[in-house]
Amino acid sequence: MTSYSPSPAERGQDPSVGELLSVVTSDIQTLFRQEIELARAEIQQEATKAGKAAGLYGGAGFAGYMVLLFLSLAAVLGLANVMDGGWASLIVTAVWAVVAAVLYQRGRTRMRTVSPKPEQTVESMKENAEWARHPTK
């Protein structure tokens, strides 16, 4: 049989330091668990958005590749009317090499701006840690 033991507040007494410390520790543990859940949800949400965007980019890239393939073929055949076919192919290839180099550089520059850490959660954790150090401020 379990006996019911009223809390000090129910008995009209002030809680002891140990009981207060226990409550604070429990609250801090709950707070940190919630922060971890927030970080997990934030990362999952961003990963889902990135995955969908990547799929769309992939489809657009393939369609663009097909367009450019046939456009390049048309350019080679058009240039072959005024010069040797080998030189025409080399010119179109050189143009595509320049385009590839420019796109690579732009993509590399943009990739450097991507931040993999959950910014909101980091800020929130910093605020929580500061409050835990100085709860009266």
pLDDT of residue 5: 59
**Average pLDDT per block of 10 residues along the chain, 137 residues long:** 58 77 86 89 88 92 94 94 93 93 92 79 80 71
**What is the number of other CB atoms lying within 10 angstroms of the CB of residue 131?**
12
DSSP class of residue 135? T
**What is the number of other CB atoms lying within 10 angstroms of the CB of residue 128?**
15
pLDDT of residue 120: 80
Domain boundaries, given as residue ranges, for the chain: 17-133
Q: Angle 17-80/85-111 helices, nearest 10 degrees?
A: 170
If DSSP codes are grouped into helix, strand and coil, which group holds residue 45?
helix
Compute CA distances 86 → 71, 79, 83, 92, 94, whole Å. 17, 10, 8, 10, 12
